[in-house]
Structure 1
């Protein structure tokens, strides 16, 4: 039965998000404002919105569900993601902010074209198509999470639940663009942080402490350590590398990289880095604890139901008022990623395809309108994919995350750290990395090694080899690279 208190908490929260979208709807008049918020984000908003959009529903649903089934072995995902987060903020954020400002580019695709002086437009168009492909899959994972949440709380049909979640998310993204997305993500990140700390703490206390949890895991042959399986066998190096490889994906995630591009100044990045690293360290650790605490609390959850352990835990441990707020945190996690994905996909269609191929002289008003319409189009496709209730959140996220890491990760790193890389190298690496990832996945080899690893390596090796055959001799590109490095100290 639906608790009226839970309904009230949800309703107030959703109205708050829509109000933010309406607020920025009236203030968004240019395509730069819609896509990057005029590059005016502060350190707190940049940090929390980047991490909230990064972690999504899988932090509160997918990762705890994986730990619930597999035990502490699955914590290697969290370790890899933490290391990837740290490296991304330290090595990528400042250079990308300076370079995209210097080249006056608003999207990752347009940055690739401008950075490498691609005369064919293939880098921009190819990367835009890849963004649309994997973000549609990624967005559908968010709608699956929203559907499972609404279905569990309100006991409504799964299809109705998915559609309900989609309407709210699309509404404020459609209205307010980047600024609305970042500010809603800021509040959502704070709420997620609160929930991910409070819920496992209460769960440990309710279960009788760590010893009871560990004893139950031993009894069920679930791994209680990082290096051994539940039956005592040593975990293979391949399994550890495959799981930690999630961290490689960070260098190629457009919805995270755009936060670096939108910050007000490079000088705000050190503070933002500290905030982001602390947030992600605590959040990932707490999510692992949620999965472990759920093992003695709930028996026999499989077939996707294991991804609802956080929801079940809230319902069991908290009164409806507090529970409503904590359940809103799950909705926050879902929304904070899918809104960013919709916006980046819209940017790819608007700035990198529509304007590039069809309407070079389009007005700012026209581009903002097209951007909003693109949000609707992508949402409908993602919604159709999400209507399959057998999809798991972690499975969909893993494929899309790996796709971006394999396609863009090495290209971003070479763009920021190698002045000798050519557009031919970048294009070849991007295409080979994407192709290897897809073939590896479709061939069923993902059970041996997470597909991001062969895709990322293939991309990197291809760039190195093509650089030997087609070295960079463009003096203007070399001077721009030097100006970027100088700008790190001037911005």
Structure 2
């Protein structure tokens, strides 16, 4: 029996467990509230682990370690930014957003909350929100599918297209069946598995190299500045724009629907406080270890990044490290099973984000578009099935985007992260903390922020070495910075120049701010 047998055993057991949770939760999802928010009954551990597992995705175990592996510790500022963003999101947004969504008509989705918060009878705000969610989450889901395809292809040596299809079908199955409850419980299991894997692998790899000093010597041979976060591997100083752009990832958290919806679903205020501590500890440990995977991996596995020879397979460093530690040819099955479980940690990271993204996109299609524009009298049961069908539809589109095996996980995640952060981040903050925010300001800020990212990242308009390039490439500035600033400016300007908020909006805002009637 070979190491591959052990990997197959680990993967089959893991995926069977995820599908089992989906079937179990299917029986408990009897209403739209159950399917989209789990009946607002998440306990502290499930809410925290689910929020962070759905946050990090395959990017945590593939994209971030790959960036550090290829370009050195000058890439750690993204991790620092994400750590700051997590702390701020749980500290200032979670509790108040939960209270406000309950007060504002018991809103089940972020677009519904915006509509109720700003008394938008035209429903334009809700529809525009849903459109942006569908656009950016389809790209985001595609990044998770790419991660899954690369994982199965690398581990099992199968064609990327076949590997991609396998990953998509597994994620679809339990998301389609169990909805939010299944997603959160699978995310809880997956978050624990991710944590174990990312803690153990860099420690074991460091021991295999021979210790910290040996790792340092090997990295010095790669580049004397590899371990200097203020320098590039070519010896040049890391630019101010590069550091600010990486730290700006923190801004994205305020606009992530799949993370914010976890805040909305926590069962009570006491659970929010406990969840905050769990989530912050989890994310600090995970991001730190992910960086060390890239650092130690560069000393342990060579040859994954050599642009001079057209080699850029750095995003597979976590997979290659596990294979070298546990699954070299001839490995005993029990040892390979352990390696297989660590590889399942990568699959867990991928699945825990993709399922959440599919579900939030489906909720926007069913609750914010179908019910608003197509069938205003749709029953709860009908909307439940529309949501399930929407999960399938979005997955199909994301699958076709992900079919290119050369797709970069880092690029896809970066674009979607910026899109959400700029479209919804400022609006979430202003809606929660500035009582003068109006419907006009909300709509202008949302559209302005979303369009800024689309223009910045996708429309060539600056001269480059090989012709016109987009503003992101030309300036080196991450699109979330201009997007967030423009959105914030538009919210303030349009809120101040137009008709102010109604009296009942102001009273509702004050009740939420004073924490009246909450448990």
Specify if TM > 0.5.
Answer: yes
Per-residue deviation, 1:471: 4.9
Corresponding residue of 1:467: 495
Change over 3 Å in CA distance of 1:488–1:152 after alignment to 2: farther
Gaps of 5+ in 2: 306-310, 327-334, 461-469
Q: Deviations over 1:393-437 (max 9, x none)?
A: 111000001100010000000000011000100100111111111
Residue 454 (1) aligns with residue 462 (2): no
After alignment, is 315-324 or 400-409 more displaced?
A: 315-324
Q: Deviations over 1:119-177 (max 9, x none)?
A: 22111000100000000000000000000110011111100000000000000000000
Per-residue deviation, 1:489: 7.2
Structure 1 residue corresponding to 2:147, chosen from 145, 148, 155: 145
In structure 2, distance between residues paired with 1:181 and 1:279:
19
Corresponding residue of 1:481: 509
8 Å contact from structure 1 (residues 109, 124) kept in 2? yes
8 Å contact from structure 1 (residues 80, 243) kept in 2? yes
Structure 2 residue corresponding to 1:288, chosen from 262, 286, 291: 291
Per-residue deviation, 1:304: 4.9
Corresponding residue of 2:465: none
8 Å contact from structure 1 (residues 32, 106) kept in 2? yes
Corresponding residue of 1:237: 240
Structure 1 segments of 4 or more deviating over 6 A? none
In structure 1, distance between residues paired with 2:234 and 2:383:
58
Per-residue deviation, 1:2: 6.6
8 Å contact from structure 2 (residues 194, 348) kept in 1? yes
In structure 1, distance between residues paired with 2:516 and 2:315:
43
SS of 1:100's partner is helix
Corresponding residue of 1:214: 216
What TM-score do you get using the length of structure 2 for normalisation? 0.93
Q: How many matched pairs?
A: 491
8 Å contact from structure 2 (residues 439, 495) kept in 1? no
Q: Deviations over 1:93-122 (max 9, x none)?
A: 001100111121100001011101112211
8 Å contact from structure 1 (residues 98, 488) kept in 2? no
Structure 1 residue corresponding to 2:432, chosen from 411, 416, 438: 416
Corresponding residue of 1:395: 411
Corresponding residue of 1:428: 444
Computed over aligned residues only, the root mean square deviation of the Cα atoms, in angstroms, reads 1.3
In structure 1, distance between residues paired with 2:312 and 2:453:
25
Corresponding residue of 2:65: 64
SS of 1:227's partner is coil
Residue 180 (1) aligns with residue 182 (2): yes
8 Å contact from structure 1 (residues 146, 165) kept in 2? yes
Per-residue deviation, 1:464: 1.5
In structure 2, distance between residues paired with 1:430 and 1:307:
33
Q: Deviations over 1:348-404 (max 9, x none)?
A: 000000011111211111111110000000000000111100101111000001100
SS of 1:3's partner is helix
Corresponding residue of 1:369: 385
Corresponding residue of 2:14: 13
Residue 102 (1) aligns with residue 128 (2): no
Corresponding residue of 2:466: none
In structure 1, distance between residues paired with 2:221 and 2:124:
56
Per-residue deviation, 1:212: 2.5
Q: Deviations over 1:463-489 (max 9, x none)?
A: 111122125241010011011123367
In structure 1, distance between residues paired with 2:316 and 2:394:
26
Per-residue deviation, 1:490: 3.1
